[in-house]
Amino acid sequence: MQQEKKDIRALSKEELRDFFVSIGDKAFRGNQVYEWLWNKGAHSFEEMTNISKDTRAHLEEHFTINHIKVDHLQRSTDGTIKNAVKLYDGLIVESVLIPTETRTTACVSSQVGCSLDCKFCATARLKRMRNLNPDEIYDQVVAIHRESMLYHNRPLSNIVFMGMGEPLMNYKNVLLSIDKITSDEGLGMSPKRITLSTSGVPKMIKKLADDEVRFNLAVSLHSAIQETREKIMPFAKSFTLDDLKESLEYWYAKTKRIVTYEYVVWKNVNDKPEDIKALVKFCKYIPSKVNLIEYNPIDDGEFQQASDRAIDQYIEALEKNRIPVTVRRSRGKDIDAACGQLANKQ
């Protein structure tokens, strides 16, 4: 049986250099190939024109380049673009380009499906099949950057890890992908323009702080009352608000970076004065801001967006307590590209 070829982009630059030395070539060749793979985005060894034919054939024999393929592209009337991305093993994830007046944001996936169980999220209904590799995450960003140039005539400005999956459950690969996105050998983007959104995995938030990451952190809070949070996000039974609070205090002490709480207000779930009071209290633990997200219905009507009045009450209470608050309007709803709607419908 033929041995499966290894994905060459799973190798670090050092490992690539070592490979060339091991076949009697120069270590420097590793740098050249690395540049082709990451900076120039080569899809095949053939493209590597400054590498000799023999060497290319040798690489071909040992490795593959597992590039993602944009299988299907949908464009919303508001300019949002959703990519259905096919991975080397045939699995599909989705990523989204979100243009506003001032920014173009890529929303990328970190897992195929999701292992968490948020009741209001369409992705949670898909079984978690596997973690994405660093290059599969990186490729989604490159694809969106190209589409941004093509359809909107401007480069990508921001990246959010708010697509399918829980990024902190794929910690190592997500961080490796961010290394590539921010490095000069990759896209050279500033980490300040990257936001990782987590449903709140305390242990891993502490790890982010220990690793001294320089990107932004957003936490999907949705309720600051333990009992309510458990109802809508059952995994919160194991990842409690107390632990989350402690991890965020740790994060702030180490990084001095403000955290964003993502928050949807639903009718009869978290639209009462006590819900607001609990959120205000939670927001005072460390410097933070709140992003109120519009609910994107996913089907059976179990959840409904709260009234405008309830949302205004949230805004009023937060502002009164000098906690910055913004309201995120949904984009790309007509193509199921909005938050929580990514579910491989195509």
Q: Which of 133, 127, 122, 123 minimizes the C-alpha distance to 176?
A: 133
Q: Name the one range near ligand SAH by CB under 6 A: 16-24, 116-124, 140-148, 172-180.
A: 116-124
Q: Are 340 and 120 spatial neighbours (Cβ–Cβ below 8 Å)?
A: yes
Query: What is the rounded CA–CA span in Å between residue 225 and residue 183?
Result: 40
Least distance CB 122 / ligand SAH (angstroms): 7
Residue 219, classed as helix, strand or coil, is strand
Q: Is 143 in the site for ligand SAH (CB under 6 A)?
A: no
Q: Is 298 in the site for ligand SAH (CB under 6 A)?
A: yes
Q: Is 63 in the site for ligand SAH (CB under 6 A)?
A: no
- The interface with ligand SAH within residues 162-191 (CB under 6 A) comprises 162, 166
Q: Pseudo-torsion of CA 203, 204, 210, 216, nearest 10°?
A: -130
Mask for 248-287, x = binds ligand SAH (CB under 6 A): --------------x-x-----------------------
Active-site hit among 47, 60, 94, 262:
94
Q: How many angstroms separate the Cα of 282 from the Cα of each of 56, 210, 273, 291?
A: 57, 23, 14, 14
What phi, psi does 84 have (nearest 5°)? -95, 120
Q: Is 107 a catalytic residue?
A: no
- The interface with ligand SAH within residues 210-249 (CB under 6 A) comprises 220
Q: Is 293 in the site for ligand SAH (CB under 6 A)?
A: yes
Q: Which amino acid is at 325?
A: V
- The interface with ligand SAH within residues 317-336 (CB under 6 A) comprises none
Q: Is 294 a catalytic residue?
A: no
Q: Angle at CA 227, nearest 5°, toward 323 and 289?
A: 15
Residue 74 or 220 with smaller CB distance to ligand SAH: 220
Which positions ≥6 away from 58 have C-beta within 8 Å? 23
Q: Which amino acid is at 187?
A: L
Please give the size of the binding site for ligand SAH, defined by CB under 6 A. 17
The closest residue (CB) to ligand SAH is 340
Using the Cα atoms of residue 299, residue 163, residue 140 and residue 105 in order, give the sign of their dihedral: positive
Residue 56 or 231 with smaller CB distance to ligand SAH: 231
Least distance CB 16 / ligand SAH (angstroms): 32
Q: Which of 144, 114, 109, 107 minimizes the C-alpha distance to 129?
A: 114
Residue 111 or 313 with smaller CB distance to ligand SAH: 111
Q: What residue ranges bind ligand SAH (CB under 6 A)?
A: 118, 120-121, 162, 166, 197-199, 220, 262, 264, 293, 295-296, 298, 339-340
Q: Where in the sequence numbering do the catalytic residues fall? A: 94, 339
